[in-house]
Amino acid sequence: MEGVNLDGKNDQCESVKDQCTSEIKARHNPGEIYFTLILLLINVAFLMESFKMEGIFQRSYNKGGFLPQTISIISIIMIVTIGIRCFKDGSKAVKFIEVFRYIFSRDVLIMITMVIVYALVLKHLRYKLSTFLFLFLSMISIDRYKLFNKIIISFCIMAASVLIFATVFKVLLP
């Protein structure tokens, strides 16, 4: 039995598994480092905005700025940690067009279009019908099987949202 050691493990499978694992760890999605930088800038802006309120830095732990400052600081630490890991793993800068193609894939563009159409149609078809159609067509664009299940799920979600917002919270739906 070639390739099998005494423990019953296949040596070839183990080496292939190790090779695949190392390739997956080394590979990053296009624009990952750019996205990390954008997140860092957004969180720094939130932190700067939270400085306008009393909080941690004024030693006021029960004021309105405490939570935004704390969350911003924790987020910045986490983002910097992710950025360092990307650089260590060899994430390389890619062209903007590659990032754009990755972020705005065909499926994403279809969903963005559907959301825009939903917003435009909402006024004319009213909430119940437009929401049902949006949910049903969204699910169909992802998977074209089990259409009856998608009809039931879309109807139940629409009915639950009407029940919660119109009945419980007394929100006037369009």
Segment 114-124, tens digit of pLDDT: 999 999 999 89
147-164, pLDDT tens digit by residue?
A: 999 999 999 999 999 999
8 A C-beta contact, residue 138 and residue 111: yes
The arithmetic mean of pLDDT across residues 3-23, rounded, is: 47
Residue 110 structure tokens: 């279809």
If asked whether residues 76 and 145 sit together in one domain, one would say no
Per-position DSSP letters for 125-144, written without gaps between them: HHHHHHHHHHHHHHHHHH--
Q: What is the pLDDT of residues 103-116, one digit of tens each?
A: 677 888 888 899 99
Query: Last residue of a domain, which of 100, 119, 147?
Result: 100
Amino acid 3: pLDDT = 47
| Same domain, yes or no: 91 and 116 | no
User: What integer is the mean pLDDT of 70-99?
Assistant: 76
Nearest in space to 33 (alpha carbons), one of 108, 102, 106, 105: 102
Same domain, 94 and 136: no
pTM comes to 0.49
Token look-up 């169909």 returns: 140
19 pLDDT tier (thresholds 50, 70, 90): very low
The structural domain count of the chain equals 2
In a shared domain, residues 135 and 157: yes
Name the domain boundary from 100, 134, 156: 100
Residues 34-48: what's their mean pLDDT? 84
In a domain, 15, yes or no: yes
Among residues 66, 100, 134, which one ends one of the domains?
100
Rounded distance, CA 27 to CA 29, Å? 7
Report the chain's mean pLDDT, rounded to a whole number. Answer: 77
Of the pLDDT bands very low, low, confident and very high (cuts 50, 70, 90), residue 13 is very low
Rounded to whole angstroms, the Cα distance separating 152 from 93 reads: 45
Over range 20-25, report the average pLDDT: 43
Alpha-carbon distance of 7 to 72, in angstroms, equals: 51
Domain with 45, as residue range(s), is 11-100
Q: Are residues 16 and 90 in the same domain?
A: yes
Phi, psi (degrees; rounded to nearest 5) at 134? -60, -45
Residue 150 lies in a domain: yes
